[in-house]
Structure 1
Amino acid sequence: MGLLSQGEYVCALPGNAVGTPWVEEPTRNFAITGASSYRTGRGNGTYLLEGARVTFTRGPMKGMKLMRLGSGLLQEVGRDDKLGRLRCHRAGPLN
């Protein structure tokens, strides 16, 4: 078990070659606030980090799963356990 780095996380989907490279999804953004805790614009919750897999266990993101790809970079994991398109990165310290 582990903890994610505290801070604000910004989530985005890939764009396209002729437009913006990333399209931010502000409703998916979140902040890691402390030991296994997070907050969003819709409320607070908890998560569990096992190895590289993050599972949101309570709150508005309950059931969402992410895979830690590197320091501060996460990618959504679908119900089929395949990596999805949404990526979230640590954008800075808590506001």
Structure 2
Amino acid sequence: MERDSEDKYRLPKSEQDANLMELAGDDIDVPKELLKMVDEDTTEEEEKDSILGQIQNLQNMDQIKEKASATMVEMKSKAEEKCCVM
């Protein structure tokens, strides 16, 4: 689990951490709150990776594109109002 977390969160790999993990073996106690956070994060990622999650991402992208387009139109019209060229 530790190696996956290092890769996932781009944490620097530490030889000291690896040695401590090896020495501890199965005696590592992880707080329940941390385990819950990891489980929730994993579930959220699995949902995003599912087909339904991908469809929702596409819908979100459409909304973002629409909002960006509307913002650009609004900025253009405000700029045209303020900048009159003869």
The structure with more strand, counted as a fraction of residues: 1
TM-score, normalization: structure 2? 0.19
The structure with more helix, counted as a fraction of residues: 2
TM-score, normalization: structure 1? 0.18
Q: Greater CA radius of gyration, 1 or 2?
A: 2
Relative contact order (alpha carbons < 8 A, sep ≥ 6): 1 or 2 greater? 1
